[in-house]
A and B are shown apart, each in its own frame.
Chain A
């Protein structure tokens, strides 16, 4: 479990917030919403492996299979 990914997620989060504000101020609300969603998707892609491992561990610990 490397710590780098936490920093990456935090940085993407801050950037998405800033871009959101910039776009809202320029009047492009729909573009702002799209960038928020894009940021969300990017972060999800970054952690999807970890999430899959998490579910595997949960399944094996509780023997749910």
Chain B
């Protein structure tokens, strides 16, 4: 009876393994990589029925319509996303604004209680966030730095129907149809009439 030469089998198996490794490594360096999922999270609630104005233009593709603002990107590409609350409607609803990096990691988040949340603005570098909410006939502007409340400013005299901007220097500028106001460190530092003469 012929004796089994285990070392020969091991040699053949080893050769096959080396061959496979060689091909795998060639493929590894030449083939394109496969994208792999690293993070996922819910976007803002989508409407059940897309608005009519979208459907009339492209009736077959209503599934693809993006409603509202899904995300607000900062200058550096990091982005904020919102869940709950809608500055375009006046629903009493808790809102969450979170800043994430491109790998999906949450850097900070701000949770706003149920209120008449009107608007928000992120500074271009994404460090500061200004939120505007209304309730009881007054308007409150709150400034957040890296997710922590730094100062607020009750704009009770301000008839809110406009927009807000916050800069990298934490200076907040908001305006409506006829006036512009600049606030810094919780104090109004300047105001102006709009439209400016040009």
- To the question of whether A and B form a pair in one complex, the answer is no
